[in-house]
A and B are shown apart, each in its own frame.
Chain A
Amino acid sequence: MSAIFKREFGSYFSSPVGYAVLAAYMFFSGIFFYVQCLFLGSSSMTMVFQQMFFIVLFVIPLITMRTFSEEKRQKTEQALLTAPVGVPSIVGAKFLSSLAMFALCLCSYLIEGIALSFMTQPDWSVIIGNVFAMAILGSSFIAMGLFISSLTESAIVAAIVSFVLNVLISIMDTISGTVSWDVLTGITNAISFQKKYNNFSLGLISLSDVVFFVSVTFIFLFLTDRVIERRRWA
């Protein structure tokens, strides 16, 4: 499992993808930080985290798009699946390497926090809490991205589909405002990522929201495992 993790994580930096993702994420995080904190003279990074939500939607499909689709296209999955490794550890290793890549992106907040600390006393508990919140939000999106990637042979298709899915799930509460049927409103509210994430960014970390994101992650990792396992029987 560690071998797959290392190879996968290394592959982000043997192609431009890793650098591009990192640069894009840090660029936007830097802009929002400049506007919200430096320009407006605030020591609270809450708004930065809220605005970064949409950047996460874009960035994660780029991190996950190649995970399984590329293996299939290059036929390297044959090596993985005929090695003495179970499918769950393959999926797990790929998930962890994507999460590690995303964690690198999250380092930008620490840099910004340090920058703030030269001028004022930043609220580290809010920053750490938000980084944690973004990490578990990210892990749900990553699991979804892996699942989409396992369905197709094309990295581009995987990126587009997971991006659409991410946006759709995130704007659920906007949609729920327009339907009058209570049941549907309830459902859309229940699966809206943004509402739960915004609670986090305000510093409200509730167990039920954490459980929600963790469950979504596990459900999609399980589905990915099933997709790969099932292909052998097709």
Chain B
Amino acid sequence: MSNIPNSSFLIPNLKKEVYFIMIEVKDLTKYYVKNKALDHVSFSLKEGEILGFLGPNGAGKSTTMNIITGYLSSDSGSVKIDGIDILEEPKEAKKRIGYLPEQPPLYNDMTVQKYLEFMFKLKKVRLPMKEHINSICEQVKISDVKEKIIKHLSKGYRQRVGLAQALLGDPPVLILDEPTVGLDPIQIVEIRRLIRDLGKQHTVILSSHLLSEVQAVCDKILIINHGKIVADELTSSITQTGSSTVSLELIIEGRRQTVHSILQKVDGVIKVTDKGECERGCYEFRVDSRRDVRRLIFRAFAKTDFSILSMRPVEQSLEDIYLDIITGKSDTEEAS
């Protein structure tokens, strides 16, 4: 028993040195009757990271989020929030999570103010209630509808009240299931900015089927399909995976066949794809090469009287990668 004071000395030191893992999900498996909804899903998130959860409808995004927040239980595997197991100490773990489910959990017969007060008490938040609710309302811009009954709110406002509810108590972990659905473009930009800001102090998981959203907001991406994780990478690195080859899109005025053969003869070019006539006498080509061949192509055409009307490097977008992964995987699955 004499070493207890020592260990309490150690803990604060540990926290400083170790990069703190906020969310740890291990081997989650979940069956709905006979359907396997989740198949050994594992990932972890460090403090202050924003994870984008991507996948087609029915891939298991919401199921995973519901398990992390303790709403559903898994058939196997474990979830730890800030080192606390959600099944072993649910109350402590749930205190650390702010959750915005797919459909915001709003009581239609209450005013926004009353609803937030209720959620504040339900979550047993120990902060000055009035000030805290006011500041959150400012943050998500719902101060002007606070006295309205939730039933009468538009979809965008409902979504924001749902977000406000998740932010109550300033939980270190935020789980947002499609937070921008139903918002207009201006609101979407605002909410994304808000999530980015929140990501500085919170650990955030957000799901989406919009790739641009994930690309704009998240540090890490998790792509899930048929209940399995098919890609788990940093947003910056996932867009670079395809960049071993460089692609160009060209529009060239000239004779089709000749242009094609000139392009093919340029040193370093792997593949030339004819994409057809775009204007009268002008053809579009896509050139894949091992290195930057723009100068070589320019010189090759400078010798002829064909003119290059446009030359544009093509970055492989997240969209392409996503489609590659999703369709590629299901192809191989069907084959097996």
- Which residues of A line the B interface, CB within 8 A? 2-4, 6-7, 11, 14-15, 74-86, 232-234
Other-chain contact of B72, A14, A74, A83, A232 (Cβ < 8 Å): A232
Question: Do the beta carbons of B99 and A84 come within 8 Å of each other?
Answer: no
Interface-side segment among B15-23, B116-124, B215-223? B116-124
Q: Does B94 contact A (CB under 8 A)?
A: yes
**In the bound complex, do residue B108 and residue A74 qualify as a contact, i.e. CB atoms below 8 Å apart?**
yes
The answer on a CB contact under 8 Å between B107 and A74 is yes
Distance in Å: Cβ of B85 to nearest Cβ of chain A: 14
Q: Do residues A14 and B109 form an inter-chain contact, with CB atoms below 8 A?
A: yes
With an 8 A cutoff between CB atoms, is B148 at the interface?
A: no
Closest 9 CB pairs of A and B: A3-B121, A79-B105, A84-B91, A14-B109, A76-B105, A84-B94, A82-B69, A75-B103, A84-B95
6 A-B residue pairings within 8 Å (CB atoms)? A74-B105, A74-B106, A78-B101, A79-B99, A83-B123, A84-B123
Contact across chains for B109 and A82 when beta carbons are under 8 A apart? no
Residues in A with CB closer than 8 Å to B118 are 3, 6-7
Contact partner of B94 (CB less than 8 A), chosen from A3, A7, A83, is A83
Which B residues between 100 and 132 are near A, CB-CB below 8 angstroms? 101, 103-110, 118-119, 121-124
**B38 contacts partner chain A, Cβ-Cβ < 8 Å:** no
B95 to chain A, nearest CB (A): 5
Query: Chain A at the B interface: mostly helix, strand, loop or mixed?
Result: loop
- B71 at interface by CB-CB < 8 Å: yes
Using CB atoms and an 8 Å cutoff, list the residues of chain B in contact with chain A: 32, 66, 69-73, 90-92, 94-95, 97, 99, 101, 103-110, 118-119, 121-124, 165
Cβ-defined contact, B107 with A80, below 8 A:
no
**Min CB gap B81→A, angstroms:** 12
B95 near A79: Cβ-Cβ < 8 Å: no
Shortest Cβ distance from B72 into A: residue: A232
Q: Chain A residue with minimal CB distance to B92? A: A84
Complex: A11 Cα to B92 Cα, angstroms: 29
Closest to B162 in A: A79
What residues of B have a CB within 8 angstroms of the CB of A80 in the complex?
A: 105, 122
> Contacts of A2 on B, CB cut-off 8 Å?
121
Contacts of A78 in B (CB 8 A): 66, 71, 99, 101, 105
Given contacts A3-B118, A86-B91, 9 further A-B contacts (CB under 8 A): A7-B107, A7-B118, A75-B105, A79-B119, A82-B71, A83-B94, A84-B91, A84-B123, A233-B73
- Chain B residues with CB below 8 A from A77, complex form: 105
Interface centre among B101, B107, B124 (most CB of A within 10 A): B107
Q: What separation, in Å, do the CA atoms of A82 and B105 have in the docked complex?
A: 11
Report yes or no: B122 in contact with A76, Cβ–Cβ below 8 A.
no
Contacts of B99 in A (CB 8 A): 78-79, 82
**By the criterion CB–CB under 8 Å, are A79 and B165 in contact?**
yes
Indicate whether A85 sits within 8 Å of B91 (C-beta atoms), given known contacts A74-B108, A79-B122, A232-B71: yes
* A contact residues around B95 at 8 Å (CB): 84
Shortest Cβ distance from B149 into A: residue: A14
Determine if B101 and A75 form an interchain contact, defined as CB atoms under 8 angstroms apart.
yes
Question: Could you tell me the distance between the alpha carbons of A102 and B196 in the complex, rounded to whole angstroms?
Answer: 49
By a CB distance below 8 angstroms, the chain B residues around A74 are 105-108
- Whether A4 contacts B122 in the complex (CB less than 8 A), given A74-B106, A74-B107, A232-B73, comes out as yes
Considering the chains assembled together, what is the distance between the CA atoms of A2 and B124 in angstroms?
A: 11
CB nearest to B121 among chain A residues: A3
Contact B110 A7 (CB under 8 A): yes
With a 10 A CB-CB cut-off, give which of A14, A84, A85, A234 has the most chain B CB atoms.
Answer: A84
Give the docked Cα–Cα distance between A232 and B70 (Å).
Answer: 9
Question: In angstroms, how far is the closest chain A Cβ from the Cβ of B175?
Answer: 9
The answer to whether B103 touches A82 (Cβ under 8 A) is no
Residues on B with beta carbons closer than 8 Å to the beta carbon of A3: 118, 121-122
- Complex: A16 Cα to B190 Cα, angstroms: 39
* Cα–Cα distance between A4 and B110 once the two chains are bound (Å): 13
Distance, CA A47 to CA B234, complexed state (A):
76
Shortest Cβ distance from residue B87 to the other chain A in the assembled complex, whole angstroms: 10
In angstroms, Cα B108 to Cα A15, docked, is 11
Minimal beta-carbon separation of A9 from chain B (angstroms):
12
Are A82 and B110 neighbours in the complex by a CB distance under 8 Å?
Answer: no
Shortest C-beta distance, B63 to chain A (Å), equals 12
Known A-B contacts A14-B110, A75-B103; the reply to A81 vs B71 at CB < 8 A is yes
Nearest A-chain residue to B32, judged by Cβ: A234
Distance A79 CA – B105 CA, assembled complex (angstroms) = 6
Q: Judge whether B106 and A83 touch: CB under 8 Å.
A: no
Q: How distant is B172 from chain A, measured CB to nearest CB, in Å?
A: 14
